[in-house]
Chains A and B, each alone.
Chain A
Amino acid sequence: AQKVTQAQTEISVVEKEDVTLDCVYETRDTTYYLFWYKQPPSGELVFLIRRNSFDEQNEISGRYSWNFQKSTSSFNFTITASQVVDSAVYFCALSEKGSGNTPLVFGKGTRLSVIA
């Protein structure tokens, strides 16, 4: 069965600090997709990144970077030089290729608070 674990329930950092949000997943499928979503206080889930299981290259987008390691089944998310606007709940999610039915399985989320 597929499962996503975000062990950090809440993290609080001071502005300009770097912060890493952990995500560990479980799946029996060899083809799968990993996602990160941001849920700001307004409530709407915002897509950040998708990564497929065959692409282990790390990705950087501005202050955001993602580290995908199949050996440890992890897909961690780092925010460099955090800002107050980064305060939100961040969800890691998994989708298996399977038979084509691909709802997302979400972790419980990590609430990030960036303090000015």
Chain B
Amino acid sequence: GAGVSQSPSNKVTEKGKDVELRCDPISGHTALYWYRQSLGQGLEFLIYFQGNSAPDKSGLPSDRFSAERTGGSVSTLTIQRTQQEDSAVYLCASSLAGTGSHEQYFGPGTRLTVT
């Protein structure tokens, strides 16, 4: 079946602009995660959605970052007023449920470059 998909694959934006990154999880997966992978910081958790529960936003680095998940499926990560330190690969993952007993499947990522 189809895996996790993300778009765009690459995004170059000017400092100060807003960007939206999209994630389509695997059909039937109720849990959705956003992570960020950068050279200096490794893989960092950003935000987590589980069903209709309030998202866990504890990993968001600043209030410029937000995410929503519509209809329990597609998710959009928005970064407002982008800064150069936001440059990274943004990874989305989904799993059957939100418990740790289920492995997370990752999408190919969106490489964001802020100039």
The answer to whether A103 and B103 touch (CB under 8 A), given A43-B89, A43-B109, A109-B42, is no
Over the window 77-116 of chain A, the binary record of Cβ atoms lying under 8 Å from chain B Cβ atoms (1 yes, 0 no) is 0000000000000010101110011111111110000000
Q: Which residues of A contact B59 (CB under 8 A)?
A: 103
The answer to whether A45 and B91 touch (CB under 8 A), given A103-B45, A103-B48, A103-B56, is yes
Interface size counted on chain A using CB atoms at 8 A: 27
The answer to whether A47 and B105 touch (CB under 8 A), given A91-B43, A101-B48, A108-B42, is yes
Residues of B within 8 A of A (CB): 33, 35, 42-43, 45, 48, 50, 56, 58-59, 89, 91, 93, 98-101, 103-109
- Between A and B, 21 residue pairs with Cβ closer than 8 Å are A37-B106, A43-B89, A43-B108, A44-B107, A44-B109, A45-B106, A47-B103, A47-B104, A47-B105, A93-B43, A97-B99, A97-B101, A100-B98, A101-B58, A101-B98, A102-B98, A103-B35, A103-B45, A103-B48, A103-B56, A108-B42
